[in-house]
Amino acid sequence: MTKLKKLLEKEIFIAGPCSIEDRDQVFRIGKKLKDLGVEIFRAGAFKPRTSPHTFQGIGKEGLDYLRELKKEMGFYIVSEIVDPRHLDYFEDIDILQVGTRNMQNFELLKELGKTDKYILLKRGMAATVEEFIQASEYIRSMGNEKIILCERGIRTFENSTRYTLDISSIPILKERTPYKVIVDSSHATGIARYVSPVALGGIAAGADGFLIEVHDRPDQALTDKDQAILPEELEPIINKSRQIRKIIER
């Protein structure tokens, strides 16, 4: 069993900024998360944005910074892939994220199914649980079973949060798939002060961990600034998540 597999079996706490902005930002935030004991760092180099006129990520260069960070601090790295033609750029990136907008990009999923990377598949914002499971089948049927599912909220009529975290999807996915399931309460709520309670709710529903966006200067973040929590705010979420997991495993 690889070290990463062993870690994922135990708990999956993924944190980092939404976007890689520059080398200094990655190392500043990386250092703070390392000090908290975070082992899986996530940041986006390719950002699939709603508008083509907004910041699209710094691209390939960002992945070089992540590789450097991995070497220096020993993190496992997660980053989003949006195009199978970019696969070569992702050498040494441990977990490839497929974002909500690409959950049904079947050609991308099939190519990822031919790799031996872990794939973090996010639920489409308008996808049913069944469609989510079938999307994971596109990866598995090509031979890759290293899949982590992420409930990141769906579109509903509710507009006091960015999306609505579908808590019931968690026990359903756990029942119907062999995969680890995590919650992303950052994108689900879009509001920093709700990130902790909603993440903990997901953990209580049986999630194996979370994905949370963290920034040391949220007001300056180039993407998703309203939902970014400070590194020090992550520590109690990790501690409480561990306690909740202990209770529900009993």
**Selected binder of ligand PEP within 16, 17, 30, 44 (CB under 6 A):** 44
CB of residue 70 vs ligand PEP: minimum separation in angstroms? 19
Nearer to ligand PEP, 128 or 243 (CB): 128
Whether residue 42 contacts residue 79, with contact meaning beta carbons closer than 8 Å, is answered with: yes
**Beta pairing partners, 78:** 42, 95
Binding to Mn ion by CB under 5 A, coded x per residue (else -) over 53-82, reads ------------------------------
Q: What is the dihedral of CA 37, 18, 184, 156, to 10 degrees?
A: 160
**Out of 16, 30, 62, 99, the residue judged to bind ligand PEP by CB under 6 A:** 99
Tokens of 210: 């979370």
- Asked if 18 interacts with Mn ion (CB under 5 A), we say yes
Residue whose C-alpha is closest to residue 195's, from 187, 206, 205, 186:
186
Nearest to 40 by CA among 85, 73, 82, 88: 73
Output the smallest distance, CB 99 to Mn ion, in A.
9
Number of residues that bind ligand PEP (CB under 6 A): 8
Find which of ligand PEP, Mn ion, none residue 152 binds, CB within 5 to 8 Å per kind.
Answer: ligand PEP
The Cα angle at residue 153 between residues 49 and 235, in degrees rounded to 5? 95
3-class secondary-structure state, position 147 = strand
Judged by CB under 6 A, does residue 162 bind ligand PEP? Answer: no
Q: How far is the CB of 52 from ligand PEP (least distance, A)?
A: 15
Q: Which stretch binds Mn ion (CB under 5 A): 12-20, 24-32, 33-41, 204-212?
A: 12-20
Strands 40-42 and 12-16: parallel
Binding site for ligand PEP (CB under 6 A): 18, 44, 99-101, 122, 152, 187
